[in-house]
C-alpha cells in the first residue's frame, strides 16, 4: 500500500494505475462500517483508493471538528491489512478563496440539513474535489448517511460526472447499534441508552410487517421507546426524500436523529 499526503503525489500514483478505481472517502477513525465499504470496493474494482480527511467545511462552527476522533497510525494499519492500494491523507485541500458547491435546498435544507445548515455544501465541496482527483469508476458510501447519498447522487447527475455511487448496508454492533466514529463519545450508560435507536426502528419494522402502514401511529410507538432521549427528528420519506404519511413497501425510509447526552446520532431503515 502506498500512503500519499499531497494531491501531486496522489496524481503521480494514479498515473501508474489503469481504470476501474474504487474510491472510499472517509473521515478516518475507521471501523467495521468502513471495512465493509473497502471490501466491497476491493471486490468490484482493480484498485481501491481510500481517503482520510476530516473535512472542516462540513462541520458547523459549534460542532465537534476539534474533538472528532482521529487515529492516524491505526487507520494506516487498518487499510494496509485490508489490501487498500492507495491511502490518501491530505493535510488540507482548500485555498484562500475558491468556489463553493451549494447543495440544492430541496434536498439539503431538510432533516440533517435543517439541524446542520451548510453541512451538505461542505460534503459536496470536498467530494467534488476528490472525485475530480481520483476519477473513480465506483465510489462507496454507507446507507447510514442516507440523505448524504441522495445529495451526492444529485450532484453526480447534475455535474455530469461519470461515477457510479454504490450505497452499502449499515453495519451494526451485535446489539444493533449502527457503527459510527461518534459512538466513541458515549460513556457506558449512554451506550446502553443508544440501543433505543435501533430498538425503535426494529419496532417500526415489526409493525409494518404486521400490516401497520400509518406513519403517525408508527412514529408514536417509536417515540415511546426512545424516551427519555431528546429527539431531533423521526421522518418517513420516499426514495426521493418526499415526506409520506403512509408506508409503501420497498419505497420508504424511516430516518431518525437523536441526542444521547450531548452526542447526536443518526440511523435509518429502508422498508
| 7 belongs to the binding site for its own copies (CB under 8 A) | yes
Rule CB under 8 A: choose which of 101, 213, 225, 244 binds its own copies.
101
Span near its own copies by CB under 8 A; candidates 17-25, 152-160, 242-250, 260-268: 152-160
Are 148 and 123 contacting, i.e. CB atoms less than 8 angstroms apart? Answer: yes
Which residue, 126 or 186, has its beta carbon nearer to its own copies?
126
- Asked if 16 interacts with its own copies (CB under 8 A), we say no
Choices 54-62, 122-130, 187-195, 210-218 (CB under 8 A): range interacting with its own copies? 122-130
Q: Which is nearer to its own copies, 68 or 130 (CB)?
A: 130
* Residue 56 in the binding site for its own copies (CB under 8 A): no
- 3-class secondary structure for 23-90? EEEECCCCCHHHHHHHHHHHHHCCEEEEEECCCHHHCCCCCCCCCCCCCHHHHHHHHHHHCCCEEECC
Residues 6+ apart with CB under 8 A from 89: 3, 4, 5, 51, 52, 53, 72
230 touches its own copies (CB under 8 A)? no
Task: List the grid coordinates of 108.
Answer: 439539503
Count the site residues for its own copies by CB under 8 A: 29
Q: Is 80 in the site for its own copies (CB under 8 A)?
A: no
Q: Is position 40 annotated in a ligand binding site?
A: no
Contact between 129 and its own copies per CB under 8 A: yes
d(CA 158, CA 142): 21
The residues assigned a catalytic role are 34
Q: Among candidates 64, 58, 78, 204, which has minimal Cα distance to 129?
A: 58
**Beta carbons of 232 and 258 less than 8 angstroms apart:** yes
Which element (helix H / strand E) includes 253?
strand 252-260
Residue closer to its own copies (CB basis): 24 or 103: 103
Annotated binding site for beta-alanine: 58
Annotated binding site for (R)-pantoate: 58, 148
* Contact residues for its own copies, defined by CB under 8 A: 7, 94-107, 124, 128-130, 132-133, 154-155, 157-162
Amino acid at each position: 500500500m502506498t500512503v500519499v499526503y499531497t494531491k501531486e503525489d496522489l496524481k503521480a500514483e494514479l498515473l501508474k494505475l489503469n481504470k476501474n478505481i474504487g474510491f472510499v472517502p472517509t473521515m478516518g477513525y475507521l471501523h467495521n462500517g468502513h471495512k465493509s465499504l473497502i471490501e466491497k470496493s476491493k471486490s468490484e474494482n482493480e484498485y481501491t483508493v481510500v481517503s482520510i480527511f476530516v473535512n472542516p467545511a462540513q462541520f458547523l462552527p459549534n460542532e465537534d471538528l476539534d474533538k472528532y476522533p482521529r487515529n492516524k497510525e491505526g487507520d494506516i494499519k487498518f487499510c494496509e491489512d485490508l489490501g487498500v492500494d492507495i491511502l490518501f491523507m491530505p493535510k488540507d485541500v482548500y485555498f484562500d478563496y475558491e468556489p463553493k458547491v451549494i447543495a440544492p435546498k430541496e434536498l439539503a435544507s431538510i432533516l440533517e440539513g435543517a439541524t446542520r445548515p451548510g453541512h451538505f455544501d461542505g460534503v459536496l465541496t470536498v467530494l467534488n474535489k476528490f472525485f475530480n482527483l481520483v476519477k473513480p469508476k465506483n465510489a462507496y458510501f454507507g446507507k447510514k448517511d442516507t440523505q448524504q447519498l441522495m445529495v451526492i447522487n444529485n450532484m453526480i447527475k447534475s455535474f455530469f460526472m461519470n461515477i457510479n455511487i454504490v450505497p452499502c448496508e449499515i453495519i451494526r454492533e451485535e446489539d444493533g447499534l449502527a457503527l459510527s466514529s461518534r459512538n466513541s463519545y458515549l460513556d457506558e450508560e449512554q451506550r446502553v441508552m443508544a440501543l433505543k435507536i435501533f430498538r425503535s426502528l426494529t419496532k417500526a419494522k415489526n409493525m409494518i410487517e404486521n400490516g401497520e402502514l400509518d406513519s403517525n401511529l408508527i412514529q408514536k410507538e417509536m417515540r415511546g421507546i426512545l424516551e427519555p432521549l431528546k429527539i431531533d427528528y423521526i421522518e418517513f420519506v420516499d426514495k426521493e426524500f418526499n415526506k409520506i404519511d403512509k408506508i409503501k413497501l420497498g419505497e420508504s425510509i424511516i430516518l431518525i436523529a437523536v441526542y444521547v447526552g450531548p452526542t447526536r446520532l443518526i440511523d435509518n431503515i429502508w422498508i
